[in-house]
Amino acid sequence: MKNTSEENGRDSLAGMQGRVIRPEDNDYDEVRRVWNGMIDRRPALILQCINADDVSIAVQYARRSALEISIRGAGHNIAGNALCDGGVMIDLSPMKNVQTDPPRRRAYVEPGATLADLDGATQRDGLATPLGINSTTGVSGLTLGGGIGWLTRRLGMTVDNLLSADAVMADGRKLHASQDENPELFWALRGGGGNFGVVTRFEFNLHRVGPEILAGLIVFPIEQAKRVLQQYREFVAGAPEDLCVWALLRQAPPLPFLPEAIHGKPILALALAYTGDTAKGEGVIEPIFGFGDPVGRHVGVQPYAQWQQAFDPLLASGARNYWKTHNFTKLNDEALDIMTDAAAALPSPQCELFIGHIAGAANRVPANATAYVQRDAEFVMNVHARWEDAGQDEACIGWARDLFKKVGPHASGGAYVNFMTAEEGDRVKDAYGSNYARLVRAKQLYDPENLFHVNQNIRP
């Protein structure tokens, strides 16, 4: 006797041009693997899409079958929202095409593309759009959550440079969203995460960047960290927006420009990127070298795309990761004390915390212009616990939570959704602040049954 439900399922997927992967297939475990090694979920079905029609078929199949849906772009999300247990993972990773139109300064990007894919295509013409700081990150997830990185001060958030998006909705319809067409959907997609549909193409505005920039690291011993961070705080307040400097507290990796004696010791590194005229940049950054007595420096002119990959070795796939995040409008001395004390007691050689300076163009965008609302944030802190052995889970997660709790009274409220873990659903309202009610209305309009809920969820 035939299994009617199984036959109906096969029929409803018959039009898919991509692959249907089941748990018994040889590459199932490889395909379901994501960046964060703590995430281990087993979808009943993986639907690898190669175009928007495939995505529409996949969404409609999952809805009719009453199966939970998760959406995978590059699989880099800290919360592991690419994966669900027992449902359908719609895998967009084969959709990696990037097309550019240099005369119009436009890029058209599929949702499986990584930052490296996009930078590689645009930098051939000395163009870029603001992205993150790890080249293996997916463009899709980064964009839908906001997008911060080395160009944010000068050019704004990633969402501020999104011109349009094509998306598959919960009922399988394909919509184009821009300021002129489906503008409410366009507003919600710019920071509202994967709550409203599955984006199948992004259109970005491009800017002249590089192809060479002035960038690198200046490393100080942990004993000088607070004094250096106080001077850093004052310096960046008046720095030109062509310059972005982030502070990183961690154990020193065995980099060739660092003395062997400092390897494995807690340090403060200032990571800088100057994207204006490189000759002028030498004078702009000169004061940073005098903040203390550096134990090493590696700063010079290099390709922008190379700098975008500089931190990839520290963020390779497969380790166990747990993050906590706060926004700051200012960094007071008490907050700096808490951070430097935590950096002196790291539970794993890979644990770190960074302070991203994002003040500039992003602050000049009205809070209600996009779903991303945190327009007063001048710094974003990410407490990044990272380790290899599950036996260290309690120590590393405890360290991150303790630091997050202690520094909380000095933060400005709100949160950056791309840095939020799966357990932080209670922070979603804080993350969207005054825009939350409008996002709920958009959710009710575009996904009233909350089909897309494996995310930092906005309930209809």
Half-sphere exposure of 209 (CA within 13 A, CB side): 31
Closest CA to 383 of 341, 337, 330, 323: 323
What's the order of all strands across the beta sheet hosting 19-21?
A: 19-21, 45-48, 88-91, 69-72
Rg of the chain taking only CA atoms, in angstroms: 22
Length of the chain: 460
Instruction: Give the residue-averaged pLDDT of 334-345.
Output: 96
Question: CA–CA separation, 141 vs 73, rounded Å?
Answer: 7
% residues pLDDT > 70 (the chain)? 98
Question: CA–CA separation, 170 vs 361, rounded Å?
Answer: 34
Residue 7 pLDDT: 42
Residue 48 pLDDT: 98
Scan for tokens 């060479």, then name that residue.
212
314: left (phi over 0), alpha (psi -120 to 50) or beta: alpha
398-430 pLDDT tens trace: 999 999 999 999 999 889 999 999 999 899 999
Instruction: Give the residue-averaged pLDDT of 164-177.
Output: 98
Domain coordinates of the chain in residue numbers? 11-91, 98-208+434-446, 212-419
Residue 14 pLDDT: 85
Residue 11 pLDDT: 52
Q: Quick one: tokens of 134?
A: 């790890």
Residue 12 pLDDT: 78
Instruction: Give the residue-averaged pLDDT of 282-303.
Output: 97
We find that the CATH architecture of domain 212-419 is 3-Layer(aba) Sandwich (3.40)
Instruction: Tell me the CATH number for domain 98-208+434-446.
Output: 3.30.465.10
Question: CA–CA separation, 14 vs 9, rounded Å?
Answer: 9
- What's at 174, amino acid-wise? K
DSSP state of 89: E
Number of Cβ within 10 Å of residue 163's Cβ equals 15
Question: CA–CA separation, 159 vs 161, rounded Å?
Answer: 5
Residue 3 pLDDT: 39
Which residues, at least 6 apart from 391, have a Cβ–Cβ distance to it below 8 Å? none
254 CA to centre of own chain:
26
Instruction: Give the residue-averaged pLDDT of 433-438.
Output: 98
Q: Does domain 11-91 have CATH number 2.60.120.620?
A: no
Q: Quick one: tokens of 319?
A: 């380790």
Element (DSSP H or E) covering residue 64: helix 52-64
Residue 2's pLDDT band, with cuts at 50, 70 and 90, is: very low
Peptide bond connecting 253 to the previous residue in cis, omega within 30 degrees of 0: no
Closest CA to 355 of 240, 236, 249: 249
Q: Are 269 and 219 in contact (CB under 8 A)?
A: yes
Residue 4 pLDDT: 36
Report the C-alpha dihedral over residues 364, 192, 151, 121, rounded to 10 degrees. Answer: -140
Q: Quick one: tokens of 62?
A: 């999952």
Q: Are 20 and 12 in contact (CB under 8 A)?
A: no
87-127 pLDDT tens trace: 999 999 999 999 999 999 999 999 999 999 999 999 999 99
- What's at 180, amino acid-wise? D
Instruction: Give the residue-averaged pLDDT of 55-76.
Output: 97
Question: CA–CA separation, 102 vs 444, rounded Å?
Answer: 38
DSSP letters along 256-301, please?
A: TTS-GGGTTSEEEEEEEEE-S-HHHHHHHHGGGGGSS--SEEEEEE
Scan for tokens 């920039």, then name that residue.
213
pTM of the model: 0.95
Question: CA–CA separation, 449 vs 444, rounded Å?
Answer: 8
% residues pLDDT > 90 (the chain)? 96
Scan for tokens 């990127």, then name that residue.
273
DSSP state of 253: P
Mean confidence (pLDDT) of the chain: 96
Q: Are 311 and 345 in contact (CB under 8 A)?
A: no
